[in-house]
Structure 1
Amino acid sequence: MLTADYDRLGLRAGDRLLDLGCGFGRHAFEALRRGARVVACDMAVPELAATTETFAALQSAGEAAPDLLACAVNGDATRLPFADGSFDRIIASEVMEHVPDDLAALDELTRVLRPGGTMAVTIPAWLPEKLCWAISEEYHAPFVEGGHVRIYTEGELRRKMQGAGLDPGGAHLAHALHAPYWWLRCAVGPTNDTHPLVRAYTRLLEWDITSAPAVTRVTERVLNPVLGKSLVVYATKPVRSTVRV
């Protein structure tokens, strides 16, 4: 289940891509399949270990070139362990809402992106996220350690990107079918995985992800502009970048 659009990102074979907050690597794996040289970065060591195993499995199965860079790195978004201009493309998917100092994280992402490079930042969309926070205090921080610490508007994210020296461009919403799922989760308790309605909806989403049937794909495309759970904003680092003041 991909949130970022690789065509909008401008990803090409041979590009150096950073997947920040990679989790179990869904965006990193697709980038590797497309011929990118991939670094998956996260603070969670177990997820990085699983990502490394999947990289090896993809290359062994011939789904990705065996000589392509594919590695996982433990790192903090506000102090990235990479040199200036290390990456052609960056994906930071569902990361910024977790980071208390999101300005520092955006500064770091801008620093490690080469001039002329592009990034995709995805965050929970304002309306679905606002409803989740209203339904249950157990959905977000401080109740959830490491949980969501803010609700973004698109305008706020764009202003912060500009402050970091980026030129924000196009945007879109994604995953409309996931918004009602999380409202349901919040209504019955965010950790209540055994509730019959939650289990039924989970099976629906799993079927959608694995089978991609036309009925759900069309439904989501129609609903995304209104109910999309995730907002994606694309930005470019100017050849002459500015510095936050």
Structure 2
Amino acid sequence: MHGNTLPTLRRHATLRRSLRLLADFRYEQADPDRFYGHLAADTVGVLSAVWADAGDTGSLAGTRILDVGGGPGYFARAFASAGVDNYVTCEPDAGEMSAAGIRVSASVRGSGMDLPFADAAFDLTYSSNVAEHVPDPWRMADEMLRVTRPGGLMVFSYTCWLGPFGGHETGLWQHYIGGEFAARRYERRHGHAPKNRWGESLFEVSCADGLRYAESVTGTDHPYPAEPVAAFPRYHPSWAWWMTEVPGLREAGVSNLVLVLRRR
């Protein structure tokens, strides 16, 4: 399972794009409109390429899309700009849903671990940087597969704990000493607790965890069996995707893992 099956996405994943996204990370807290606006636009580009390579049609137009953990609406706005009008977001935090003042026409309050939707309701389900914020990410992944129709795609993207951004705003190295150390150091330095609190709203999820999950859903004993399509580092240029296949290195080098699964 690797990214070689996604030729359109490989053309999208350039070094220039990687450097542009890396430069935006400094603005996550200081200028969220800039950070999340650019990230949302890139996400639409990634999903459009994945759908063109592995979906039923070449375009996301008319596709029923579920965004699990869509937040305050940056992604909804990006999809609308791309001409996608059948987009639904599910977010558990009412405050987060309204934080940016963006009106989302189809926003449902609910938990990713118990999605309030019928089986096989969507053509494409995805989550962007959500799995590391829930205590049972693989239950959420199962729920996403449940609401994906047979033949549809589930795209599961999350930040790996041992990558440089695993600690989120608490630092690039502090979380290697420990999540609690990183959180307390942040609070001492800034006078308030971090938004992403280790053990409460930030959890340790490894690259290997995701790859094991992708293999575990292939059997007929899984309630929602799926075929692994690809696994690749979200922010890397395509020539660096090989890191996903190297144990040890992938934990520190991949940073954010994307799993693409096709529901059977």
Give the TM-score normalised by the residue count of structure 1.
0.62
Which amino acid counterpart does residue 147 of structure 1 have in structure 2?
L
Q: Secondary structure at the match of 2:50?
A: helix
Which amino acid counterpart does residue 211 of structure 2 have in structure 1?
G
Question: Partner residue of 1:230?
Answer: 256
Which amino acid counterpart does residue 200 of structure 2 have in structure 1?
E
Question: Partner residue of 1:83?
Answer: 118
Please list, as runs of the form range in 1=range in 2, the aligned pairs for 1:14-163 lying within 5 A after superposition. 14-36=62-84, 37-50=86-99, 53-55=101-103, 70-125=105-160, 127-128=162-163, 129=166, 133-138=175-180, 139=182, 143-153=198-208, 154-162=210-218, 163=222
After superposition, the C-alpha distances for 1:51-99 in whole angstroms (9 at most, x for unaligned) are 6x4246xxxxxxxxxxxxx311110112111112111111111222232
Kept in 2, the 8 Å contact 1:122–1:233? The answer is: yes
Task: Give me the identity figure in percent.
Answer: 28
2:138 and 2:238 map into 1 onto residues whose CA distance is 32
Q: Secondary structure at the match of 1:5?
A: helix
Kept in 1, the 8 Å contact 2:74–2:102? The answer is: no
The partner residue of 1:6 within 48, 62, 84 is 48
Classify 1:229/1:168 alpha carbon distance in 2 versus 1 (closer, same or farther; 3 Å).
Answer: same
Task: Report the Cα offset of residue 161 of structure 1.
Answer: 4.2
2:129 and 2:110 map into 1 onto residues whose CA distance is 16
Q: Which of 114-123 and 93-102 deviates more?
A: 93-102
Task: Report the Cα offset of residue 108 of structure 1.
Answer: 1.5
1:132 and 1:14 map into 2 onto residues whose CA distance is 44
Classify 1:100/1:159 alpha carbon distance in 2 versus 1 (closer, same or farther; 3 Å).
Answer: farther
Q: Secondary structure at the match of 1:79?
A: coil
Q: RMSD of aligned C-alpha atoms?
A: 3.0
After superposition, the C-alpha distances for 1:36-62 in whole angstroms (9 at most, x for unaligned) are 2111111111221246x4246xxxxxx
Question: Partner residue of 1:242?
Answer: none
- Count of equivalent residues: 181
2:121 and 2:204 map into 1 onto residues whose CA distance is 29
1:143 and 1:77 map into 2 onto residues whose CA distance is 19
After superposition, the C-alpha distances for 1:191-214 in whole angstroms (9 at most, x for unaligned) are xxxxxxxxxxxxxxxxxxxxxxxx
Kept in 2, the 8 Å contact 1:142–1:149? The answer is: no
Q: Secondary structure at the match of 1:23?
A: coil
Q: Which of 102-111 and 153-162 deviates more?
A: 153-162
Q: Secondary structure at the match of 2:83?
A: coil
After superposition, the C-alpha distances for 1:157-210 in whole angstroms (9 at most, x for unaligned) are 31344344121111221335xxxxxxxxxxxxxxxxxxxxxxxxxxxxxxxxxx
1:28 and 1:225 map into 2 onto residues whose CA distance is 32
Please list, as runs of the form range in 1=range in 2, the aligned pairs for 1:181-192 lying within 5 A after superposition. none
